[in-house]
Structure 1
């Protein structure tokens, strides 16, 4: 599948339910239903989400077993195929050899593009080691017929960001189709675009969608867009058309929630907001992650209401 990176893509939540024994398990039907609802939503200009990101940070990835994750992605691939968009998911490993095996497994369940995280090592890898890690993942992608997206996320990696020099070297590898940059400092995006205007760069933090577009990003991967997809898609339409004032009004309307996308508990916060939005508060609080305090619950609820009220004024509640 040819990927069109000029747009916004939802990093969908993995919905959970209680099993007969009282433990939490993946609710595949509800997860598919919510993903489909997001993908079918159109912006004011008639465009839709351009991809589907599954089993990421917001998809409980850190808490899923390999078997659970592959089953989840297989179910999401059915939704992605129905709406003719690529399925994207991440991969990270300690060694480049382990990474290759993970990529091969993801391909078997229908993933089209692999977001490759930096290696999970205690010692900070050198640029040479980092390049070899990504180069082998690119070679593996070529063998199995998919593409990769180097994912620059220093918070998740636990050490410094990938250098612009390394990112530029990786970007010209044949199976590297785009770069994902998760930072509130969009100057790195502008620096990369100045070096190569043809680069496809996706922003990974909701608070900087408009600023990233100004810097040259072609799109973004969104968590808040799962809750308010019409607003997210419409904002990207304005960014693409250079209608910055209109795009910024939506960004400001979403900001009370977008702020949560840059917090350590972004999974728990945004998933609860999704539960409020779908009148399923209990479901929104079901997570393999941390349990929210009452103060945190009240804060997320207030932030959701504020964003919803602002978006109603802009006619952006789907």
Structure 2
């Protein structure tokens, strides 16, 4: 199976939304064409320095992963793989399971539809596993990925998503696995990134929270996976360009301009919030409201709209609103 090449250094990747539409019966179903179109539009955008997004993340938290059936998820990723191949970027998707055997099966299935790297979340268990159990869980996923010709990305997200936290010691061990392309650390505390990078400058770590892009870059992260970048891709790519060049003051201007909406990326309802903002941005309120997630209250809708408009106004001053 031909796979897209990935250079995980100095890149930002969009965690794209899954666009939905009403079927003839009135039920919601995936709009594959619209999802492909919006993903392609995001990958087409250039930053002020001329670079683009370096990958495509599909069926993640923002892609309504937890609400899709296995059949829906695989069909969605197969459609997104066409977009990834068109732009010669890797396709990334997430996986989590209660047991390591179940996880290995998911990794193998994802490889069959064009996924290049699997973001592996910790086990979906009520009690936190020991580091030894956690390592065995990831090691079997790595073995399955190796056999399928793909890679994995251990995903530490204990904050908004509420997953079991991966200890720093465990992250060190996982980073040494040959099948691990990068680590994804989605916390607002970037000290773990800094600790790991000080010990091993060769590590590749991606930040997963939009509010900390600049701080994560200062700590040594090589890039990030963005939700807000789906709405303001030019701003997101340009900010990463400044981070890569060490132009911290310029990067911070963009971070501050987007802060009102980036805040939503670190909230438990990030899917519902950011998807609604995406709908506003594309003058498609109905599209933004279509979700398998929770229905927002009017107070929440008003808050998202105010945050979006403030970010757009600030980014317009920097010629980054489009």
TM range (shorter): over 0.9
Q: Match of 2:188?
A: 184
Q: Match of 2:218?
A: 214
What is the alpha-carbon distance in structure 2 between the residues aligned to residue 195 and residue 138 of structure 1? Answer: 23
- Cα deviation for residue 293 of structure 1 reads 1.1
What is the alpha-carbon distance in structure 1 between the residues aligned to residue 164 and residue 142 of structure 2? Answer: 22
- Cα deviation for residue 226 of structure 1 reads 0.1
Paired residue total = 318
Secondary structure of the 1:151 match is strand
Does 2:235 correspond to 1:235? no
User: Does structure 2 conserve the Cα–Cα contact (< 8 Å) formed by 1:119 and 1:157?
Assistant: no
Does 2:111 correspond to 1:107? yes
Q: Match of 2:12?
A: 8
- Cα deviation for residue 19 of structure 1 reads 0.7
Secondary structure of the 1:57 match is coil
Q: Match of 2:300?
A: 296
Secondary structure of the 1:279 match is coil
Q: Match of 1:66?
A: 70
Q: Match of 1:195?
A: 199
What is the alpha-carbon distance in structure 2 between the residues aligned to residue 256 and residue 126 of structure 1? Answer: 38
Calculate the TM-score normalised by the size of structure 2.
0.97
- Cα deviation for residue 164 of structure 1 reads 0.8
Query: Which consecutive segments of 4 or more residues in structure 1 shift more than 6 A?
Result: none
What is the alpha-carbon distance in structure 1 between the residues aligned to residue 234 and residue 160 of structure 2? Answer: 29
What is the alpha-carbon distance in structure 1 between the residues aligned to residue 7 and residue 151 of structure 2? Answer: 12
Which shows bigger deviation, 46-55 or 114-123? Answer: 114-123
Q: Match of 2:263?
A: 259
Q: Match of 1:96?
A: 100
What is the alpha-carbon distance in structure 2 between the residues aligned to residue 115 and residue 47 of structure 1? Answer: 24
Does 2:291 correspond to 1:287? yes
What is the alpha-carbon distance in structure 1 between the residues aligned to residue 163 and residue 15 of structure 2? Answer: 23
User: Does structure 2 conserve the Cα–Cα contact (< 8 Å) formed by 1:184 and 1:208?
Assistant: yes
Q: Match of 1:310?
A: 314
What is the alpha-carbon distance in structure 2 between the residues aligned to residue 218 and residue 232 of structure 1? Answer: 14
- Cα deviation for residue 317 of structure 1 reads 2.3
- Once superposed, what is the RMSD of the aligned Cα atoms? 1.0
Calculate the TM-score normalised by the size of structure 1.
0.98
- Cα deviation for residue 196 of structure 1 reads 0.8
User: Does structure 2 conserve the Cα–Cα contact (< 8 Å) formed by 1:202 and 1:221?
Assistant: yes
- Cα deviation for residue 159 of structure 1 reads 5.5
- Cα deviation for residue 121 of structure 1 reads 1.3
Secondary structure of the 1:59 match is coil
Does 2:209 correspond to 1:205? yes
Structure 2: gaps spanning 5 or more residues: none
Deviations 1:163-206 (A, max 9, x none): 11110111011110100001000000000101111000000000
For residue 117 of structure 1, the aligned residue among 121, 135, 139 is 121
